[in-house]
Amino acid sequence: DVKVTQSSRYLVKRTGEKVFLECVQDMDHENMFWYRQDPGLGLRLIYFSYDVKMKEKGDIPEGYSVSREKKERFSLILESASTNQTSMYLCASSDPRGATDTQYFGPGTRLTVL
Amino acid sequence: AQSVTQLGSHVSVSEGALVLLRCNYSSSVPPYLFWYVQYPNQGLQLLLKYTSAATLVKGINGFEAEFKKSETSFHLTKPSAHMSDAAEYFCAVSGGNSGYSTLTFGKGTMLLVSP
């Protein structure tokens, strides 16, 4: 089974803090994704990566950056957390060789910024 | 650009009743289509996917969906709801604004099942 893990299930940070959210997948997938999920808005793509050290902006990249130093790990960084970044963050991975774009999701990190 | 519309942010059914969750999409290319389910405080789990083979797709937990190109729809159904089906359901189409390997998600439909 594909396994995607996220470093924390719940996280509480203060405004202005630098926040790291970590995601690890164990299926050698090349593609990895970060979404945020808000009630009534569904999932919105923040950033994705199709290879080590490669990154692409999604629909809402402002206020976020990412890092992918190893194939299995994709980090989301909030340089200076703000209260409007309080949300559920979901990581996903997919194998482009599968040619169906199926994404596999981690359990999510619920981030609260005070 | 791809988009997904899920009709109804909340759908309520009684246990044993038919479940119908609606999804309409727009896509500039032949799409791959997905339904995911999310239980409380969990990530998304793949229910089923359409990848241009059979138009009627069967998934896990007794769910199925039918791809209708003429209606640009991919509605999710289950003949008989169970209490354990209560969750949020997301429809998605491949080829988001950022490229072909990305997915564009609908806003989700919360399924409520009453005894």
CA dihedral B9, B42, A100, B8 (to 10 degrees): 0
**pLDDT tens-digit profile of A3-14?**
999 999 999 999
Query: Does A33 touch chain B if contact means CB atoms closer than 8 Å?
Result: yes
Answer whether A58 sits within 8 Å of B102, measured CB to CB: yes
Compute the residue count for chain A.
114
Query: Does A3 touch chain B if contact means CB atoms closer than 8 Å?
Result: no
Answer whether B44 sits within 8 Å of A90, measured CB to CB: yes
Interface test with A, best of B105, B109, B110 (most A CBs within 10 A): B105
**pLDDT over 90 at A98, yes or no:** no
**pLDDT tens-digit profile of B19-32?**
999 999 987 777 88
Alpha-carbon distance values, A97 to A65, B22, B64, B105 (Å)? 26, 30, 25, 22
Instruction: Give the per-residue pLDDT at B1.
Output: 73
**pLDDT tens-digit profile of B5-17?**
999 999 999 999 9
Instruction: Give the per-residue pLDDT at A2.
Output: 67
Answer whether B97 sits within 8 Å of A59, measured CB to CB: yes
- The long-range contacts involving A2-8, CB below 8 angstroms and separated by at least 24 positions, are A2/A26, A2/A27, A2/A29, A2/A93, A2/A104, A3/A27, A4/A91, A4/A92, A4/A93, A4/A104, A4/A105, A4/A106, A4/B43, A5/A106, A5/A107, A6/A89, A6/A91, A6/A106, A6/A107, A6/A108, A6/A109, A7/A109, A8/A109
Instruction: Give the per-residue pLDDT at B100.
Output: 53
Answer whether A101 sits within 8 Å of B41, measured CB to CB: no
Instruction: Give the per-residue pLDDT at A40.
Output: 87
DSSP structure class, residue B45: E
**pLDDT tens-digit profile of B46-97?**
999 998 778 899 999 999 999 998 899 999 999 999 999 999 999 999 865 5
Averaged confidence pLDDT in chain A? 93
Q: Cα(A34)–Cα(A24) distance, rounded to whole angstroms?
A: 12
Q: Are B67 and A5 in contact (CB under 8 A)?
A: no
**pLDDT over 80 at A58, yes or no:** yes
Weakest mean pLDDT among A49-53, A72-76, A94-98, B37-41: A94-98
Instruction: Give the per-residue pLDDT at A99.
Output: 65
The percent of chain A in helix, strand and coil, each rounded to the nearest 5, is 5, 50, 45
